[in-house]
Amino acid sequence: MNTISHFGSSVARDANRTLGGGWAAIELLRRTFIASGALDEAGHAGLVAVSRLTPGTNLLAYCVALGWRMHGWRGSLTALGAASVPGSVIVFALTAALVRVDQYSLVRFALAIGILAATVLVLSAAWSLLRPYLTASALASTSVIIALSAALLLAGLTPVRILLLSAAAGAMLGRPLRAPQEEP
Protein backbone atom coordinates (compact mmCIF):
# COMPACT_ATOMS: atom_id res chain seq x y z
CA MET A 1 0.00 0.00 0.00
CA ASN A 2 3.05 2.24 -0.35
CA THR A 3 2.01 3.96 -3.56
CA ILE A 4 -1.18 5.89 -4.01
CA SER A 5 -1.98 4.01 -7.23
CA HIS A 6 -1.73 0.68 -5.40
CA PHE A 7 -3.92 2.11 -2.65
CA GLY A 8 -6.47 3.36 -5.19
CA SER A 9 -6.64 0.06 -7.06
CA SER A 10 -7.14 -1.83 -3.78
CA VAL A 11 -10.03 0.48 -2.82
CA ALA A 12 -11.58 0.22 -6.31
CA ARG A 13 -11.39 -3.59 -6.19
CA ASP A 14 -12.85 -4.04 -2.70
CA ALA A 15 -15.45 -1.27 -2.80
CA ASN A 16 -17.02 -2.43 -6.06
CA ARG A 17 -17.31 -6.20 -5.86
CA THR A 18 -20.08 -6.89 -3.36
CA LEU A 19 -23.85 -6.54 -3.45
CA GLY A 20 -26.05 -5.58 -0.54
CA GLY A 21 -24.53 -2.26 0.45
CA GLY A 22 -21.36 -0.73 1.77
CA TRP A 23 -20.76 -2.77 4.91
CA ALA A 24 -19.78 -5.90 3.00
CA ALA A 25 -17.32 -3.76 1.04
CA ILE A 26 -15.98 -2.20 4.25
CA GLU A 27 -15.35 -5.70 5.59
CA LEU A 28 -13.32 -6.53 2.44
CA LEU A 29 -11.37 -3.27 2.84
CA ARG A 30 -10.69 -4.12 6.49
CA ARG A 31 -9.31 -7.54 5.53
CA THR A 32 -7.14 -6.16 2.72
CA PHE A 33 -5.58 -3.28 4.67
CA ILE A 34 -5.10 -5.24 7.90
CA ALA A 35 -3.46 -8.09 5.96
CA SER A 36 -1.06 -5.59 4.36
CA GLY A 37 -0.21 -4.06 7.74
CA ALA A 38 -1.45 -0.61 6.72
CA LEU A 39 -4.30 -0.68 9.27
CA ASP A 40 -5.02 -2.36 12.60
CA GLU A 41 -8.33 -3.35 14.20
CA ALA A 42 -8.39 -0.27 16.44
CA GLY A 43 -7.73 2.04 13.50
CA HIS A 44 -10.51 0.32 11.59
CA ALA A 45 -12.91 0.84 14.52
CA GLY A 46 -12.08 4.55 14.54
CA LEU A 47 -12.78 4.80 10.81
CA VAL A 48 -16.10 3.01 11.31
CA ALA A 49 -17.09 5.52 14.01
CA VAL A 50 -16.25 8.42 11.68
CA SER A 51 -18.09 6.87 8.72
CA ARG A 52 -21.18 6.27 10.85
CA LEU A 53 -21.28 9.89 11.99
CA THR A 54 -20.66 11.37 8.53
CA PRO A 55 -23.77 12.29 6.50
CA GLY A 56 -24.40 10.29 3.33
CA THR A 57 -23.00 6.97 2.23
CA ASN A 58 -21.02 5.18 4.97
CA LEU A 59 -18.72 3.37 2.52
CA LEU A 60 -17.60 6.62 0.87
CA ALA A 61 -16.98 8.32 4.22
CA TYR A 62 -14.96 5.28 5.36
CA CYS A 63 -12.86 5.42 2.18
CA VAL A 64 -12.29 9.19 2.49
CA ALA A 65 -11.12 8.82 6.11
CA LEU A 66 -8.97 5.79 5.19
CA GLY A 67 -7.37 7.74 2.34
CA TRP A 68 -6.77 10.74 4.63
CA ARG A 69 -5.12 8.53 7.23
CA MET A 70 -2.81 6.85 4.71
CA HIS A 71 -2.04 9.50 2.06
CA GLY A 72 -3.57 12.82 3.16
CA TRP A 73 -5.92 14.75 0.87
CA ARG A 74 -4.62 12.97 -2.25
CA GLY A 75 -5.50 9.66 -0.65
CA SER A 76 -8.99 10.91 0.24
CA LEU A 77 -9.74 12.06 -3.30
CA THR A 78 -8.26 8.89 -4.80
CA ALA A 79 -10.32 6.70 -2.49
CA LEU A 80 -13.48 8.71 -3.16
CA GLY A 81 -13.09 8.30 -6.92
CA ALA A 82 -12.05 4.66 -6.71
CA ALA A 83 -14.99 3.74 -4.47
CA SER A 84 -17.68 5.69 -6.31
CA VAL A 85 -16.89 5.85 -10.04
CA PRO A 86 -17.03 2.15 -11.09
CA GLY A 87 -20.38 1.46 -9.39
CA SER A 88 -21.84 4.75 -10.62
CA VAL A 89 -20.81 3.99 -14.21
CA ILE A 90 -22.55 0.60 -14.00
CA VAL A 91 -25.69 2.23 -12.53
CA PHE A 92 -25.63 4.84 -15.30
CA ALA A 93 -25.15 2.21 -18.03
CA LEU A 94 -27.96 -0.02 -16.74
CA THR A 95 -30.33 2.93 -16.37
CA ALA A 96 -29.50 4.42 -19.76
CA ALA A 97 -29.80 1.04 -21.49
CA LEU A 98 -33.19 0.53 -19.86
CA VAL A 99 -32.11 -2.95 -18.82
CA ARG A 100 -34.51 -4.59 -16.41
CA VAL A 101 -32.00 -6.63 -14.46
CA ASP A 102 -34.64 -8.49 -12.50
CA GLN A 103 -36.59 -10.00 -15.38
CA TYR A 104 -34.37 -13.07 -15.82
CA SER A 105 -34.65 -15.84 -13.22
CA LEU A 106 -30.94 -16.64 -13.50
CA VAL A 107 -30.07 -13.00 -12.73
CA ARG A 108 -32.47 -13.00 -9.76
CA PHE A 109 -30.83 -16.18 -8.47
CA ALA A 110 -27.34 -14.68 -8.85
CA LEU A 111 -28.47 -11.50 -7.06
CA ALA A 112 -29.91 -13.55 -4.19
CA ILE A 113 -26.65 -15.50 -3.80
CA GLY A 114 -24.71 -12.21 -3.92
CA ILE A 115 -26.91 -10.71 -1.20
CA LEU A 116 -26.58 -13.81 1.01
CA ALA A 117 -22.80 -13.69 0.58
CA ALA A 118 -22.91 -10.02 1.60
CA THR A 119 -24.89 -11.04 4.70
CA VAL A 120 -21.99 -13.23 5.84
CA LEU A 121 -19.56 -10.35 5.29
CA VAL A 122 -21.75 -7.94 7.28
CA LEU A 123 -21.97 -10.45 10.16
CA SER A 124 -18.19 -10.77 10.05
CA ALA A 125 -17.89 -6.95 10.13
CA ALA A 126 -20.13 -6.78 13.23
CA TRP A 127 -18.08 -9.46 14.98
CA SER A 128 -14.77 -7.73 14.21
CA LEU A 129 -16.11 -4.51 15.75
CA LEU A 130 -17.53 -6.16 18.88
CA ARG A 131 -14.72 -8.64 19.62
CA PRO A 132 -12.20 -6.17 21.20
CA TYR A 133 -14.86 -5.06 23.71
CA LEU A 134 -15.75 -8.56 24.88
CA THR A 135 -13.08 -8.68 27.55
CA ALA A 136 -13.73 -9.46 31.23
CA SER A 137 -13.00 -5.88 32.30
CA ALA A 138 -15.25 -4.27 29.68
CA LEU A 139 -18.05 -6.82 29.46
CA ALA A 140 -20.46 -5.02 31.82
CA SER A 141 -20.10 -1.61 30.09
CA THR A 142 -20.25 -3.22 26.65
CA SER A 143 -23.44 -5.06 27.61
CA VAL A 144 -25.01 -1.78 28.74
CA ILE A 145 -24.26 -0.12 25.37
CA ILE A 146 -25.47 -3.18 23.41
CA ALA A 147 -28.71 -3.32 25.42
CA LEU A 148 -29.26 0.43 25.03
CA SER A 149 -28.67 0.48 21.26
CA ALA A 150 -30.80 -2.65 20.73
CA ALA A 151 -33.65 -1.09 22.75
CA LEU A 152 -33.41 2.16 20.76
CA LEU A 153 -33.39 0.16 17.51
CA LEU A 154 -36.51 -1.75 18.56
CA ALA A 155 -38.13 1.55 19.56
CA GLY A 156 -37.76 2.68 15.93
CA LEU A 157 -35.19 5.45 16.33
CA THR A 158 -33.09 6.40 13.31
CA PRO A 159 -29.49 5.07 13.21
CA VAL A 160 -27.91 8.48 13.77
CA ARG A 161 -30.03 9.05 16.90
CA ILE A 162 -29.08 5.61 18.18
CA LEU A 163 -25.39 6.41 17.62
CA LEU A 164 -25.59 9.82 19.29
CA LEU A 165 -27.49 8.50 22.33
CA SER A 166 -25.01 5.61 22.60
CA ALA A 167 -22.14 8.10 22.42
CA ALA A 168 -23.75 10.13 25.22
CA ALA A 169 -24.15 6.96 27.30
CA GLY A 170 -20.52 6.04 26.64
CA ALA A 171 -19.35 9.51 27.70
CA MET A 172 -21.39 9.17 30.89
CA LEU A 173 -19.70 5.86 31.64
CA GLY A 174 -16.59 8.00 31.59
CA ARG A 175 -13.87 5.44 30.95
CA PRO A 176 -12.75 3.87 27.67
CA LEU A 177 -13.91 0.32 27.02
CA ARG A 178 -10.65 -0.74 25.35
CA ALA A 179 -7.18 -1.04 26.83
CA PRO A 180 -5.04 2.11 26.17
CA GLN A 181 -2.83 0.41 23.56
CA GLU A 182 -5.95 -0.48 21.55
CA GLU A 183 -7.42 2.98 21.17
CA PRO A 184 -9.22 3.60 17.86
Partner 1 sequence: MNPLVVYVLLLKAVATSFAGMGSLPQIHEDFVETRRVLTDEQLSRAVLVGRSTPGPVGAYVVAVGYFAAGWRGAVAGWLAMITPALAAIPLFTLMQRWLHVARVRAAVDAVVIASAVLLLSSAFQLAVDGFRQLLPR
Interaction residues for partner 1, span 150-169 (CB under 8 A): 150, 153, 158-160, 162-163, 166-169
Applying CB under 8 A, which part among 1-9, 29-37, 86-94 lies near partner 1?
86-94
Q: How far is the CB of 14 from partner 1 (least distance, A)?
A: 10
State the Cα–Cα distance between residues 61 and 84, nearest whole angstrom: 11
CB of 136 to partner 1, least distance (A): 16
CA proximity to 18, closest of 34, 3, 5, 32: 32
Coil/strand/helix, residue 134: coil
Q: How far is the CB of 29 from partner 1 (least distance, A)?
A: 12
Q: Which residues contact 39 (CB under 8 A, 6 or more apart)?
A: 30, 33, 47, 66, 69
Please work out the total of residues on this chain that contact partner 1, with binding judged by CB under 8 A.
94
| Helix axes of 41-53 and 105-130: crossing angle, nearest 10 degrees | 110
Tell me the DSSP string of 8-65: HHHHHHHHTS-SS-HHHHHHHHHHHHHHTTS--HHHHHHHHHHHHHSSS-HHHHHHHH
- Which residue lies nearer to partner 1 by CB, 3 or 95? 95
CB of 54 to partner 1, least distance (A): 4
Q: Please, which of residues 8-37 interact with partner 1 by CB under 8 A?
A: 15-23, 25
Among 88, 137, 139, 179, binds partner 1 (CB under 8 A): 88
Taking a C-beta distance cutoff of 8 angstroms, is the pair 123, 25 a contact?
no
Q: Which is nearer to partner 1, 39 or 45 (CB)?
A: 45
Question: Is 7 exposed, middle or buried, given 0-12, 13-18 or 19+ CB atoms closer than 10 A?
Answer: buried
Nearest to 145 by CA among 136, 134, 156: 134
Find the binder of partner 1 among 102, 136, 155, 156 (CB under 8 A): 102
Interface positions, 104-143, toward partner 1 (CB under 8 A): 108-109, 111-113, 115-116, 118-119, 122-123, 125-127, 129-130, 133, 142
Among 35, 37, 96, 156, binds partner 1 (CB under 8 A): 96
* Residues of this chain, 38-77, that bind partner 1 according to CB under 8 A: 45-65, 68-69, 73, 76
